[in-house]
Structure 1
Amino acid sequence: MSSDTQKPTSAAQPVALPAVEPPVGPTSSRRAIGIDVARAVALIGMISVHVFPEAHLDNDKMTLAFAVFAGRASALFAVLAGVSIAFVEKRSHGHLYGRTLTADRAALVVRGLLILLVGLLLGHLETPIDTIIPYFGILFLVAVPFYGRSSRFLLIAALFFAIVGPVLRHLLNGTIPEQLDPEADYTLFTAAQQPVLFIVDMLITGTYPVFLWMTYLCVGMVIGRQVLTSRKVQLALAGWGAVLALAAWVISQVLLGPAGGMQRLVEATPSLTRAEITDVLAYGPDLTLMPNTTWWWLAVVTPYSETPLTVLHTLGAAVAALGLILLVTHRGGKVFSPFAAIGAMTLTLYSAHVIIFAIDVLDVTRPVLSLWIQIISFMLFAVLWRAVIGKGPLEGIISDASDWVRRRVRASGDRPPQDTPGRLRFKPHAGPAVPPPPGRPPEPAHPVRQPAVTDRTAEIPPGSRAGRWKTSLPRPEGTS
C-alpha cells in the first residue's frame, strides 16, 4: 500500500497506504519476503508517526519517530505499490498486448475501485487521521494507462509528475473551494455530493495528490521489473537512492541559504514570522497546502510539503530503504517471516489501525505502550491468519475480485468462432464446370461440407494418430 496526517490531538503526519498484493507463502522467494518486510517497516513507521507527537513536550525537540518516518514511510508505500504492479506484469511472461493487456488493466481498475470503497467507508469513522486510502484507490485507477509501458516511458513520466504536480498544486492553492467539512475525511456521501471537488482534491490539492504521487508509482514499476534477488541490483538501489535523497536536500539548503531563498520567503510571507517559517521548514505545513506567496516555497524540503525537491528527497530515501531491506533479508527468510506476514496484509492492518484510533481504546498519552501493543497484536494476527487461511481478509477479497475480472476478460477473447446454422462457412469454388475424366464418376451436385477447423487442431502434434478426427462422409453414388 501509510502516511496519514493526524489531526490536532496528536502531532502525527501523513503516511501512505500500501499496495494490495497477494501474500507470500511459506516457500516464497527472498525477493517477495524482502518486499513484504519493506511494507511492514513502512506500516510500523506509520504507526509510530501517528502515536508519537512531532516534538517532545519537555524540550520541544523533534521526536525520533517523526524525524525518521515523517513523509518517508508514505513514499516507501507508494514505491512498493508500483513494485506490486510490476509483479503482476511479470505474471504475463512478456505477453502484455491484446486481450492479456486489456484483462490486466481491467483487474487493476477493479483493485483501485475496491480500495477507494474501503477508504470512503473508513471515512465515516471519526478519527484523528486523514486516511490516504481513497487517494490510493485513485492512484491505481490513474496508473491503468501506464501499465505495460516501457521503463523509459515510466521514468520520463515520473520526472514529469514530480515537476508539474507541485506547480499545479501551487497555482491552484486558494482557488479551489473546500469540501463541506474540511476537517473530515471523504465519505461515500460527501464524495457524491461534490464529485468535481472530490476528483480535484484527490488529484491535485488534497493531502496526498495523486497527480504528484504517480512519481513514486512509476519508479516503483521500473524497480519491480528488475531482478531484485541480485545483490548488484540491491546495492544499486541503496546507493543511487541515497545519492538522490542527499542531492535533493543539499540543493534545497543551497537555494534557501546562499541563494537567498529564506529571505525571499520572509519578505513574501508577512503573515508568518521568521520563527514560524522555520517551523514550517522543519515540520511541514500546518494546513494541507504550503503557502504560495512566492515560488521560492517550491525550493523547500520538509515533510508533506509536496514540493519537487521534497518528492525527489523522499523518493530517494524510499528507494535506498528498499535496497537496504532487500540486502538484509537476502539470507534468513525464516527470521523475517513475522514481519513478512505483516507486510502481506497491510491494507487490513492499516484499516484496523484506523479503527483503533476511532474507538480510542489505547492511551494516547503513552505512545510507547500504544506502539508496541499494535505491533505485537498485528504480528500475531498476521502470522496466525496466514498460517490458517492465507491472504488477509481485505487482500483476499480484492485479489479474488480482480482475478475473477481478469479471467472473464481473457475468456471473452478465447472463444472459437461458431458456425451459423443453415449456412456454409466456406463457399464452394464458383468456377466453370469441367467434365470428369473418362472412367471416373461425376462429382456430386453439391459439395460435401467439411468439418469446421477449431483451435483444438493447434494442440494436435503433426502425424499423431490418436489426435486425428474421424469423419464419416456420405459416399457418392456409383463408387465402391
Structure 2
Amino acid sequence: MGRLVGVDLARALAVFGMYVVHIGPPLSATDGVGSWVRYLAEGHSSVLFATLAGFSLMLIAGRGEPKTGLAGRQAKARIAIRALMLLALGTAMAMEYGGVIILGFYGVYFLLALPLVRLRARTLATTAAALAVVAPQLAFALNSLLTQPIQQSINAHDPLHRLSEVGVLDLLLTGFYPAITWMPFVIAGMALGRLDLSSGTVQRCLAALGAALTVTAYGMSLLLAGPGALRSLAEDGPSSGSSGSMPPDGGSFESDQPASLLLTAGPHSGTTFDIVGSVGVAILVIVGATVAMERLPRLRRLAKPVIAVGTMSLTAYVGHFLAQTAFSTPAGTGTQQSWVPLLLFVLGAIVFAAVWSRFFRRGPLEYLLNAATKPAKYIR
C-alpha cells in the first residue's frame, strides 16, 4: 500500500512518547531536557497516535482516490472488522489495566469514521475543524448534565462496563479518550492521508499550518487562561495516558466546575485550544519525519530499527503493558524517579522490531489483525 517511511517513524515516536508517559518519571520529578521530554509526551503522544490511526484508515480506504464499488465495500468491511477486533482487545486489556488502554476507543473511532472514508481532504479538514470548535463545548455541557445516578443507571445496563468498567458511555463521552473530543484528531489524520506528503509544496503548506495552529492555540490559551492554568494541568493532570474532557482526578466534569476550564490548553484538557494545538504538533511531527526520511538518506538508514517499531506499533503498544506486568516495572508516578526503565523498554522494542522485521513483513499482532480482516474479501 505504499507505506511512507516518515509516517512509520512518526508512529514509532508516538509509541515511545506513550512509553514516556506510562513508564518515565512524572513531570514533577524532572528538570531540564527531561521536563521537556515529559511535557511533550504528555498528551501529544496519544494525540499523534490517534492522528496516525486516521492516516492508516486512508491506507485501507484508498489514499489519493477513495475506493468505490466492490473495492470500497470491502475496504469498509476491513475497517469495521479491525474496529471490532480493537474494541475486543481493548476491552480485554482494560479488564487488567483499566481505562488507560486506548485500543477500545480506537475501535469506536474507526466505526464512527466509516461514513467519512470517501470524503476529500478539504471536506475532512473542515469537518475536523468544526468538531474541534463545537465538540469540547458540547462535551462540557453533556458532562455537566450527566449526574452520578444517571451514569450509574446507564452503566448498570452496559455489558462492556460490567466486563471492564469501560463502557459505551466512557467510550463516547466520559472516558480517558472520549470519541466526542478525540474524533477531530482521527479525522485530521484522514485528511492528511488524502494528501501527497512527498510533495514539497504540500510539505511546506502543512509545516506552516502546523506551526500556525500550535502557536495560535497555545498562545491564545496563555492569554485567556494565564500560564498558571497550563502549568497546573501539565503537572497535576493524568499521568498514565488519560485524556479527554476530564479533570485531573479522573472523573467527568460536574456542574459546579467552572467553564473557564474551556480556556486551558494543558495536556488532555479536551478543550478547543488543546485539540487545535495538539493537531498542530502532530502535523509538525509527521511532516518533519517525512522530510527527514526523504532528504537525509544516512539518517534513514540509521533510523531503520526505529522505523521498524512504527511498522508494528500495535505490537509495541500492547507489548509494553505485558512487559510491565512481567517485570513488575513501576508506572510513571511519584514513586518512579528513574529514566532507566524507560530507556530499557525503548531499547527492547527497537531490538525486537529490528530482529522481527528481518524475517516477517508485519508484527505479531499486525499479522493477527490482518488475518481477521480476510473475510472482507467475500463481501459482494
- Fold conserved between structures, TM > 0.5: yes
Deviations 1:422-457 (A, max 9, x none): xxxxxxxxxxxxxxxxxxxxxxxxxxxxxxxxxxxx
The equivalent position to 1:334 in structure 2, one of 282, 301, 310, is 301
Residue 349 (structure 1) shift: 1.2
> Which stretches in structure 1 are left out of the alignment for 5+ residues?
1-21, 23-28, 181-185, 263-274, 413-480
- Residue 80 of structure 1 is matched in structure 2 by 52
Residue 383 (structure 1) shift: 1.4
The equivalent position to 2:328 in structure 1, one of 361, 368, 381, is 361
Alignment of 1:361-400 (within 5 A): 361-362=328-329, 365=336, 367-400=338-371
Q: Partners of 1:133 and 1:68 in 2: how far apart?
A: 21
1:219 aligns with 2:191: no
1:315 aligns with 2:279: yes
SS for the counterpart of 1:232 is helix
Q: CA 1:38 to 1:198, structure 2 compared with 1: closer, same or farther past 3 Å? A: same
Q: Partners of 1:276 and 1:326 in 2: how far apart?
A: 34
Residue 337 (structure 1) shift: 1.3
Alignment of 1:139-154 (within 5 A): 139-154=109-124
Q: Partners of 2:372 and 2:308 in 1: how far apart?
A: 22
Task: Tell me the TM-score normalised to structure 1 length.
Answer: 0.67
1:35 aligns with 2:35: no
- Residue 219 of structure 2 is matched in structure 1 by 250
Deviations 1:65-124 (A, max 9, x none): 321211111111111111111222337x74633322221111110001111111111123
Q: Partners of 1:295 and 1:43 in 2: how far apart?
A: 33
Q: Partners of 2:120 and 2:177 in 1: how far apart?
A: 26
Q: CA 1:195 to 1:43, structure 2 compared with 1: closer, same or farther past 3 Å? A: closer
Q: Partners of 2:356 and 2:32 in 1: how far apart?
A: 41
Q: Is the 8 A contact 1:345 1:392 kept in 2?
A: yes
Q: Partners of 1:341 and 1:282 in 2: how far apart?
A: 33
Residue 157 (structure 1) shift: 1.7
Q: Is the 8 A contact 1:56 1:62 kept in 2?
A: no
- Residue 134 of structure 1 is matched in structure 2 by 104
Q: Is the 8 A contact 1:125 1:358 kept in 2?
A: no
Q: CA 1:76 to 1:61, structure 2 compared with 1: closer, same or farther past 3 Å? A: closer
SS for the counterpart of 2:339 is helix
- Residue 243 of structure 2 is matched in structure 1 by none
The equivalent position to 2:133 in structure 1, one of 160, 163, 171, is 163
Give the partner amino acid of 2:283. Answer: V
1:201 aligns with 2:151: no
Q: Partners of 1:193 and 1:131 in 2: how far apart?
A: 16
- Residue 210 of structure 1 is matched in structure 2 by 179
Alignment of 1:415-454 (within 5 A): none
Task: Tell me the TM-score normalised to structure 2 length.
Answer: 0.84
Alignment of 1:267-306 (within 5 A): 279-280=232-233, 283-284=236-237, 285-288=247-250, 289=252, 293-306=257-270
Q: Is the 8 A contact 1:290 1:297 kept in 2?
A: no
Alignment of 1:409-420 (within 5 A): 409=379, 412=380
Q: CA 1:352 to 1:95, structure 2 compared with 1: closer, same or farther past 3 Å? A: closer
**Size of the alignment, in residue pairs?**
356
Q: Is the 8 A contact 1:79 1:216 kept in 2?
A: yes
The equivalent position to 2:96 in structure 1, one of 116, 122, 125, is 125
Deviations 1:262-313 (A, max 9, x none): 9xxxxxxxxxxxx899623654332234565332221111011101111001
- Residue 43 of structure 2 is matched in structure 1 by 71
Q: Partners of 1:322 and 1:97 in 2: how far apart?
A: 28
Q: CA 1:363 to 1:216, structure 2 compared with 1: closer, same or farther past 3 Å? A: closer
The higher relative CO (CA closer than 8 Å, separation ≥ 6) is in 2
Give the partner amino acid of 2:38. Answer: F
Q: Which structure is higher in helix share?
A: 2
- Residue 241 of structure 2 is matched in structure 1 by none
Q: Work out the percentage of aligned pairs sharing the same amino acid.
A: 26
Q: CA 1:367 to 1:290, structure 2 compared with 1: closer, same or farther past 3 Å? A: farther
Residue 47 (structure 1) shift: 0.6
Deviations 1:25-78 (A, max 9, x none): xxxx6x611111101011111111222233344889983332121111111111
Give the partner amino acid of 1:171. Answer: A
Deviates more, 1:197-206 or 1:171-180: 171-180
> Which stretches in structure 2 are left out of the alignment for 5+ residues?
238-246
Deviates more, 1:165-174 or 1:56-65: 56-65
Q: Is the 8 A contact 2:315 2:365 kept in 1?
A: yes
Give the partner amino acid of 1:279. Answer: S
Q: CA 1:320 to 1:291, structure 2 compared with 1: closer, same or farther past 3 Å? A: farther
CA RMSD of aligned residues (A): 3.0
- Residue 104 of structure 1 is matched in structure 2 by 75
Give the partner amino acid of 1:315. Answer: V
Residue 148 (structure 1) shift: 1.0
Deviations 1:345-397 (A, max 9, x none): 11111111111233443366463211121111111111111211221111111
Q: CA 1:144 to 1:279, structure 2 compared with 1: closer, same or farther past 3 Å? A: same
Q: CA 1:224 to 1:60, structure 2 compared with 1: closer, same or farther past 3 Å? A: closer
Q: CA 1:196 to 1:96, structure 2 compared with 1: closer, same or farther past 3 Å? A: farther
